Structure 1
Amino acid sequence: MPMPQRRMKVGKKEQHLWQKRDSAGSGQKALNLVRIVSELPNEKHAVYGALDKWTAWETEFPLIAAAKALRILRKRGQWLRVIQVAKWMLSKGQGATMGTYDTLLLAFDKDHRADEAESLWNMILHTHTRSISKRLFSRMISLYDHHDMPNKIIEVFADMEELGVRPDEDTVRRIASAFQRVGQDDKQKLVLKKYLSKWKYIHFKGERVRVRRDAWYESGSTN
């Protein structure tokens, strides 16, 4: 009995060490990629050429490292580089996930590229349809809200309703505000009534208290 127990411990230890080396390796590749793109001019051909060279000796596409690089660039607010790297990944048929789309839409928002965001969104909508996450719908509505495009918000909301995706509270308020801005106060109130609970929780004197939203509805506030 003692011998098998020792083997199991060694096996677990070896597996753990292998996973750590793999993680460290992809992390170093990601940092290398960030360094490479950060030093390049903004020309698409220069960036894509460098990215192609980065993968030239790889037997498989380094998807984990590329995804980590995207997260680093996003955290640093290097939105143009996020767009370039994400577009390059997708052009290679890699990283077509809701996470990549979310990051790319955020970068389009930050870099004031609403038209490109709309093109990407239409592709996502037609390609993935019923697998689109609530988070991605919220991202698109937030983007349109930042760029003062209430009619586009209403279009996205219509797709959410058709697909049975229930918006979160922040998104509900953006949708309601969009209806108000286009002069459809009746639909604004319907949205608030349908999607916001009649109750909300507030902290009062150190306790969590449930209160009715009636006054909030009557005021028509979307703040």
Structure 2
Amino acid sequence: MDCQNLISHHFYHPGLSQIKIAGVALPLRYGFRSSRISLNRKPDAFAVQGKDISLSHVKGNHNRDGESLSNSQAITKKGIVLRRKKGKERHFWQKRDSAGSGRKAHNLVRIISDLPHEKEAVYRALDKWTAWEVEFPLVAVVKALKKLKSRNQWLRVIQVAKWMLGKGQGTTMATYDTLLLAFDVDGRVDEAESLWNMILHTHTRSISKRLFSRMISLYDHHDMQDKIIEVFADMEELGVRPDEDTVRRIARAFGRLGLEEKQKLFLKRYQCKWKYIHFNGERVKVSRHTLEEDE
């Protein structure tokens, strides 16, 4: 007798129009995987390792210690743990992919490299390059500036940076530093001073030590010792401590101007008390005062 006839033989009643069976215990010799099968299985039930478990048993379960389980875990009678698969999270606030900025920067460098040195021609090409952009391609322009800087094309760096600042974009300390360096190499001290005065009046309390060092280095390259002292006075007023290279430039400026007393006071206050020397093939940290006494 097969399984269906066995069930009908034991549970059939002629007066019943419907048969509702909660569960039937079957012996293992009939080849069933589970010792209990449900004939009125709900549509939201699912099987895990041969066990029929409905979703209603997952929610609100507790372990043996009475602690409630989270919605992502539940324990069956046989110790089977069900885990809910987490869906892929979507973050709509993530910034857009900028993978194409490198290609745009390369295209920009290629366009302006073939142009004459006239400012009008360069600006016209740059405006045409951004004509179909929804937003200003700031990342691409910054990458293009880095490429031009690595190629020592300082005139192009000045033109692109001034065009970008004229659009009200890229007003950062890194852009100012790149432009001041280009002015220094190209010998445009007057334009560098104009830019520096604008930075002082606009970003008084947020000027970095790097920009101060850049301006002092520019004046030192063009032998403008009095300007170095002026920039150092601004640093001291804003509480910006110079680095070691800037300290040497300022001390040299005091010496060239014949201000030996101020030079000594300056070195005593700002010169580092420690110095690294090479001794027996190793880099050793020693006191600068001890070295001066030995000399």
Say yes or no: TM over 0.5.
yes
**Counterpart in the other structure of 2:154:** 79
* Alignment of 1:43 onto 2:126: no
Other structure's SS at 2:276 match: strand
**Counterpart in the other structure of 1:221:** none
**Counterpart in the other structure of 1:142:** 217
Letter in 2 for 1:4: K
**Counterpart in the other structure of 2:72:** none
Q: Is the 8 A contact 1:144 1:150 kept in 2?
A: yes
Give the deviation of 1:189 after TM superposition: 1.5
Q: Number of paired residues?
A: 210
**Counterpart in the other structure of 1:62:** 137
**Counterpart in the other structure of 1:151:** 226
The CA distance in 1 between the partners of 2:126 and 2:291, in whole Å, is 52
**Counterpart in the other structure of 2:203:** 128
The CA distance in 2 between the partners of 1:174 and 1:216, in whole Å, is 21
Give the deviation of 1:215 after TM superposition: 7.1
Q: Is the 8 A contact 2:235 2:241 kept in 1?
A: yes
Note the alpha carbon deviations across 1:154-197, whole angstroms, 9 max, x for none: 00000000000000000000000011111111111111111112
* Alignment of 1:112 onto 2:194: no
Other structure's SS at 2:204 match: helix
Greater strand percent: which structure? 2
Greater helix percent: which structure? 1
The CA distance in 2 between the partners of 1:180 and 1:196, in whole Å, is 15
Give the deviation of 1:58 after TM superposition: 0.6
**Counterpart in the other structure of 2:262:** 187
**Counterpart in the other structure of 1:205:** 280
Q: Is the 8 A contact 1:33 1:54 kept in 2?
A: yes
Identity of aligned residues (%): 75
Give the deviation of 1:202 after TM superposition: 1.8
The CA distance in 1 between the partners of 2:159 and 2:291, in whole Å, is 43
Higher relative contact order (CA 8 A, sep 6+): 1
Q: Is the 8 A contact 1:189 1:217 kept in 2?
A: no
The CA distance in 1 between the partners of 2:131 and 2:102, in whole Å, is 18
Q: Is the 8 A contact 1:37 1:47 kept in 2?
A: yes
Which structure: larger Rg? 2
* Alignment of 1:30 onto 2:116: no
Letter in 1 for 2:274: W
Distance 1:121 1:77, change over 3 A: same
The CA distance in 2 between the partners of 1:217 and 1:45, in whole Å, is 58
Other structure's SS at 1:23 match: coil
Letter in 1 for 2:164: M
The CA distance in 1 between the partners of 2:99 and 2:259, in whole Å, is 54
Structure 1: stretches of 5+ with no match in the other structure: 219-223
**Counterpart in the other structure of 1:3:** 85
Matches within 5 A, 1:154-169: 154-169=229-244
Give the deviation of 1:51 after TM superposition: 0.5
* Alignment of 1:196 onto 2:258: no
Other structure's SS at 1:107 match: helix
Structure 2: stretches of 5+ with no match in the other structure: 1-82
Note the alpha carbon deviations across 1:67-119, whole angstroms, 9 max, x for none: 11111111111000000000000000000100000000000001011111011
After the TM superposition, which segments of 4 or more aligned residues of structure 1 sit over 4 Å from their partners? 215-218
Q: Is the 8 A contact 2:244 2:272 kept in 1?
A: no
Other structure's SS at 1:130 match: coil
